[in-house]
Structure 1
Amino acid sequence: MTLREDLLREFCPQNALELERDLALLHRSKGGRGFVDAITRLQEFVGASTVSHYPCATTCQGYVVPRPWNLKDGFLRLSTGEWLVPDLRMAPIGGIFLSGASHGIERLRIVDVGSGTEDADYAQSVKGCAVLATGKPPVIYREAVAKRGARCVITDFMPAQDARIGRTPEEMPDTVNYASFGSEVQGEGFGFNVSHRTFKHLQDMVGKKVVEVDAFFDADAGTGDLQVLEAHVGAPGAQKPILLLAHLCHPRPGANDNASGATLLAELVRVLHTVPLEREVIALWMPEFYGTIAWLADQKPNLACAINIDMVGEDQTKTGSTLEVTATPWSLPSFIADLMAVNLTTHDFRLTLTGFTWGSDHAILNDASVHVPALSLTQWPDRFYHSSDDTPDKSSVQSFEWVGHGVLDTLADLVSGIPEERAAAVAARIREQGLADSVRHNDPLIRDWVARRTRAALLTLQETTDTPVVRAELAAAGTTAPMPAFQPRVPIIGPIEEVWMTPEDLQWNDRLMRDFPCWYNLKGEVVNFIQLDVEREDALKLATAEFDAPAAAVHAARHYLDLLTGKGYLLP
């Protein structure tokens, strides 16, 4: 039998679903006891593995790593006795991540501050009060707690609302959404997530009379660190290792996000251990973003490519999801996303190959300073994302089987070579995308970059499988200048995140994320192009074309580059 046949025969998708049921019982906060328990459960399943420990409450490259946080207990009740948030030991998603501890049971007056994100929302004092607010919790915290001395935040904030799939507060009135304060907070206040029905009930009461709550919150530093689980399969050799990764954090239940990715990865590792593998594969389970950047800075691995597995178990009928294969950015051409899309193509599930977007750990790997082509697998949108309803019954063993087969097929291709027919399909996709992007743009700079990107992706494919069809597609792509070499212009590795930001900068960045959905993609890619020795205005033009950024976002990106240069994070 071939390697591919051996892998697919051994794979059991039900294992991933059953393991997901276990992890969904754990509250997996960074530094929390539940995260450690999740690692222990994974180690029991995958066998040989190691755990690395990294500090919290510090900076790591471009990131401000939050303090370790372990939820112990808490509740929220009206002073009349009515329950608003049940015992957090039973329903921990009701506690906002990174909340500090209360001073015993605190009786607090509720003040409705609207969104709670603007100065105009604070016409009355909130010092020593609980604020009722609809905006993003990190921004509410900065405005209400850090700046004005509020003690408590109460919110029903639902991220990523999407009426197409019934993901609105009005259609999910009893759902409780997951929220976190910003990574910079030190525990001066605390907060609760409530259902939309409870939130409207409080708003109605506060509009008529003085309302007080009894609030109790207990949290500590838990383990005091970040923990990253690592497993190695196969034999190190001449070829660089392949990285598979899945973040393990998020609140209970967090079934599809991301117990599903973590448990599918565990089953894949079990399968890979059953065959002689002539290439090393590294598997990583970590706190999202923070664990990945810490591990990369510590290990400095020399990787060929990476597959990020994040939210893959969704039952598409229940969640409204489509599996997105997220490609590498224009600054880092590769064939791996096209290969994965070919291996996943079926009439039984919804699938799309998308351009590069932020959102998970693949963004760190695709950064120009790390330079590891990384695709991401994510079912999106998801009606139950980041909520109390993200439970294992929203997952499907058929989805685990489909995605698992796609990853194993792709690994077999990367280890043993891509079959000629499949290589032809991948090459055709790369060329078709290049032609489509070229037709969309008249600017010679952009068209030239698209041509260079297309040829570079085909060349990386040829390095894996040199077939007549691939050579023909390369010839049809024409001769172009090679991709420029990396020129380090940033004194860190990975994306430039909050490390340089003052409170005013954070507020400015919050507004840009609110106003421009492309902002995170745009600002990171501009810096990537600059580190490929592209002139600043040309870098802006290329990133603008890649993400269809509006003029106002491009103007903000220019200011962003000025700020980075002034603070020493972008070298002239």
Structure 2
Amino acid sequence: MPTWGLTGLIKELLSSLAKNARGSLTSDMVNMLTRHHRIQGSTGLENALSDLYDALEGIGYSPRVIEVPSDSRKGFIDSPVSWEIEDAFLQFKAGGKLLEEYSFTEHPTLVAAHSPPGEGCGTLSLCNGGECHGDAVLARGPAYEAYSRADAKLVVVYEPKRYIDAVPYTGLFLHSNEVKDTVVMNIPYRTALKLMSMLVENPGRKIEVCWSNRSRYTSKPMHVLIACNDNVDGPGVVLVSHICHPRPGAHDNASGSVANYVAAFISHVMRLDIPLCHVWVPEFTGTVYLDRALPWRPLGVVNLDMVGSKQWITGSTLNIVNAPLYMDSTIVPYTYLAVKAVLDTAPSFSGFDLPGSRYSLSPYTAGSDHDVFLSWGVDTVMLNEWPSKYYHTDMDTAETLSQRSLTDTAVASLLAAYMAYKRYRVNFVTNVFLDYLKTWYALEAMKTGFNTGLDELSRRISDQARLKPGEIRGIASPVSTRLIQRLIGFEKYREITEVKGAVSYLTLYAPLAYVNGISDASQLFQLENLVKWSNREEALISEAWELIRNEVLK
């Protein structure tokens, strides 16, 4: 670490960006990515990667790409059949009067990703319980479940958890052998409520639906983009961002992709003396192919997924997502320290700098590319803003992002990587962080009224026998939610998703604990998340885990 300390290094990083980048660099990159419809296996995704490749080459990197086969599986992660969409529309009428209409041009999330093509007109029916058939049916998501269960030419999906006036993004992520003659489209929850109300109030009323989805399947592969500096030998640190998702997909995840690029820009012009690789992937499906693609096994990984928003619009808080507590970590303490050093910019009367934007620690949560690296036993942290008002909708636009916040995230990521590689005061930083983590848990427990097992949790945080990166027995990948659905069925999976933390537990936490001989993973997970599952929830999760252990990890 330079003699000027953290504050001095932050100033140097920001100064280097200001001197070497045009003022609109960040916004230009956001606009460049959000104009592409970046569905996995699509030309839009490839074009976004191509634009980013050119931008990296333009600042002096020698980027390379690796191939991800279409319609394949690696580890426990499925890659969908590749897919292109040209155009689509959806129209509702009653008594000859137009009720609502949507076009793909105005609403890029209208068609579920990887939906089969088709067109037609018919009468709208409601899905009730297990009954879901007719010309066109209105069904609550998840879209894959609705698609699999429906006997219809068109499935119209709504998602109550998405912003009520926005068209949600849903994905089928089909293999070629799952394709059938059913189109899947999405509508805002408010529109769904209107249609349901009309049909419930007057069961004899006919709502006519007309639709067209001009899409097609292909066999072309996807790609992963890798750009490493060449001025220092590794092993070093990886910054990873998934670049997929439909247009505009600004917060999720043009934001992380742009922050990663800005970090690459700064580190290159500064000739930062640490080995770094910057990676852009199709989420999960591309990340699993990095096991043999990097020049070295990473010392640490920072996953950038949904960052840099205008928090007053999105309602987000930046979460520094911890690794499972049975794993030892240095990248998490360094990242927390880096975020604090960069974001504490608001002056106080006492002279201390206070948080200029919201950030917080978070227990381990699954759902992004950090899971893949953790499954391999690599020390990994995620920076993720949550909640996000327009998450997975067509209203996730560039206007929700902050240039300054994206830059701050890039600088914090670089600072964390720098400290991790240099092992900056490693014993002091990790010990102080672990003491803080105990206090954080104690205060959270007091706030929530959770008072079970805190002494044990404190002991586990301090446990010197925690699994060390490099010594952990890894697994091929996290267990995908699609695979869990196949094992336990839609009904039980839906129940599982309603149990706090259950998906995180089943996809990675329990499998990795199991192969490393940790016998009390369920108890530890509940302590980490300050949650106590009911007997019924325990039984449900235990049944699912037994199937995963016996069928997947055998």
Tell me if TM exceeds 0.5. Answer: yes
Query: For 2:31, what is the secondary structure of its paired residue?
Result: helix
Query: For 1:344, what is the secondary structure of its paired residue?
Result: helix
Q: Is the 8 A contact 2:250 2:397 kept in 1?
A: yes
Aligned with residue 198 of structure 1, among 191, 195, 200: 191
Aligned with residue 253 of structure 2, among 241, 255, 258: 258
Report the alpha carbon displacement of residue 299 of structure 1 after superposing the two structures with TM: 5.5
CA distance in 2, matches of 1:430, 1:264: 28
Task: Tell me if 1:38 matches 2:31.
Answer: no
CA distance in 2, matches of 1:203, 1:177: 18
Provide closer, same or farther for how the CA distance between residues 224 and 85 of structure 1 changes in structure 2, counting only shifts above 3 A: farther
Partner of 1:354: 362
The amino acid that maps onto 2:368 is S
CA distance in 2, matches of 1:82, 1:435: 59
Aligned with residue 115 of structure 2, among 93, 99, 103: 99
Aligned with residue 497 of structure 2, among 514, 520, 527: 514
Counterparts of residues 101-120 of structure 1 (less than 5 Å) = 101-102=117-118, 105-113=119-127, 118-119=129-130
Percent of paired sites with the same residue: 20
Query: For 1:290, what is the secondary structure of its paired residue?
Result: coil
Provide closer, same or farther for how the CA distance between residues 279 and 412 of structure 1 changes in structure 2, counting only shifts above 3 A: closer
Aligned with residue 140 of structure 1, among 111, 131, 146: 146
CA distance in 2, matches of 1:273, 1:298: 21
How many pairs are equivalent? 510
Report the alpha carbon displacement of residue 314 of structure 1 after superposing the two structures with TM: 0.6
Provide closer, same or farther for how the CA distance between residues 65 and 81 of structure 1 changes in structure 2, counting only shifts above 3 A: farther
Of 130-139 and 59-68, deviating more is 130-139
Report the alpha carbon displacement of residue 486 of structure 1 after superposing the two structures with TM: 3.7
Report the alpha carbon displacement of residue 512 of structure 1 after superposing the two structures with TM: 3.4
1:64-96 CA-partner distances (Å, limit 9, x unpaired): 222112211111123648374433144321111
Partner of 2:352: none
CA distance in 2, matches of 1:282, 1:63: 23
Report the alpha carbon displacement of residue 337 of structure 1 after superposing the two structures with TM: 1.9
Instruction: Give the root-mean-square deviation of aligned CA atoms.
Output: 2.9
Aligned with residue 60 of structure 1, among 59, 74, 87: 74
The amino acid that maps onto 1:430 is L
Provide closer, same or farther for how the CA distance between residues 325 and 183 of structure 1 changes in structure 2, counting only shifts above 3 A: farther
Counterparts of residues 50-449 of structure 1 (less than 5 Å) = 50-78=64-92, 80=96, 82=98, 84-102=100-118, 105-113=119-127, 118-119=129-130, 122=131, 126-127=133-134, 129-144=135-150, 149-159=151-161, 167=163, 169=164, 173=165, 175-184=166-175, 185-207=178-200, 208=202, 209-221=205-217, 224-237=220-233, 239-296=234-291, 301-345=296-340, 346=344, 347-367=355-375, 370-418=376-424, 424=428, 427-434=431-438, 442=453, 448-449=459-460
Provide closer, same or farther for how the CA distance between residues 194 and 427 of structure 1 changes in structure 2, counting only shifts above 3 A: same
Report the alpha carbon displacement of residue 280 of structure 1 after superposing the two structures with TM: 1.9
The amino acid that maps onto 1:394 is T
1:319-372 CA-partner distances (Å, limit 9, x unpaired): 1111111111113221322222222221210110111111211111112xx011
Report the alpha carbon displacement of residue 223 of structure 1 after superposing the two structures with TM: 6.5
Partner of 1:470: none
Q: Is the 8 A contact 1:101 1:187 kept in 2?
A: no
Provide closer, same or farther for how the CA distance between residues 559 and 301 of structure 1 changes in structure 2, counting only shifts above 3 A: farther
Aligned with residue 509 of structure 2, among 525, 528, 542: 525
Provide closer, same or farther for how the CA distance between residues 564 and 394 of structure 1 changes in structure 2, counting only shifts above 3 A: closer
Partner of 1:22: 32
Provide closer, same or farther for how the CA distance between residues 436 and 107 of structure 1 changes in structure 2, counting only shifts above 3 A: closer
CA distance in 1, matches of 2:487, 2:144: 14
In the superposition, the TM-score normalised over structure 2's length comes to: 0.84
The amino acid that maps onto 1:150 is A
Partner of 1:469: none
Counterparts of residues 495-510 of structure 1 (less than 5 Å) = 495-497=478-480, 503=486, 505-508=488-491, 510=493
CA distance in 1, matches of 2:363, 2:79: 28
Report the alpha carbon displacement of residue 245 of structure 1 after superposing the two structures with TM: 0.5
The amino acid that maps onto 2:408 is W
Q: Is the 8 A contact 1:234 1:277 kept in 2?
A: no
CA distance in 1, matches of 2:473, 2:377: 12
Provide closer, same or farther for how the CA distance between residues 442 and 516 of structure 1 changes in structure 2, counting only shifts above 3 A: closer
CA distance in 1, matches of 2:293, 2:64: 14
Return 5+ residue gaps in structure 1 as ranges. 162-166, 461-482
CA distance in 2, matches of 1:344, 1:423: 19
The amino acid that maps onto 1:203 is M
Partner of 2:349: none
CA distance in 2, matches of 1:88, 1:150: 21
CA distance in 1, matches of 2:476, 2:210: 46
Report the alpha carbon displacement of residue 509 of structure 1 after superposing the two structures with TM: 5.0
The amino acid that maps onto 1:543 is F
Report the alpha carbon displacement of residue 424 of structure 1 after superposing the two structures with TM: 4.5
Provide closer, same or farther for how the CA distance between residues 21 and 436 of structure 1 changes in structure 2, counting only shifts above 3 A: closer
Report the alpha carbon displacement of residue 375 of structure 1 after superposing the two structures with TM: 0.8
CA distance in 2, matches of 1:143, 1:300: 45
Query: For 1:151, what is the secondary structure of its paired residue?
Result: strand
CA distance in 2, matches of 1:197, 1:511: 23
Q: Which has the higher strand share?
A: 2
1:509-542 CA-partner distances (Å, limit 9, x unpaired): 522333213111222212222222223xx23322
Return 5+ residue gaps in structure 2 as ranges. 345-354, 446-450
Report the alpha carbon displacement of residue 234 of structure 1 after superposing the two structures with TM: 3.6
Q: Is the 8 A contact 1:98 1:187 kept in 2?
A: no
1:125-155 CA-partner distances (Å, limit 9, x unpaired): 614x2111233222212221xxxx2121112
Partner of 2:448: none
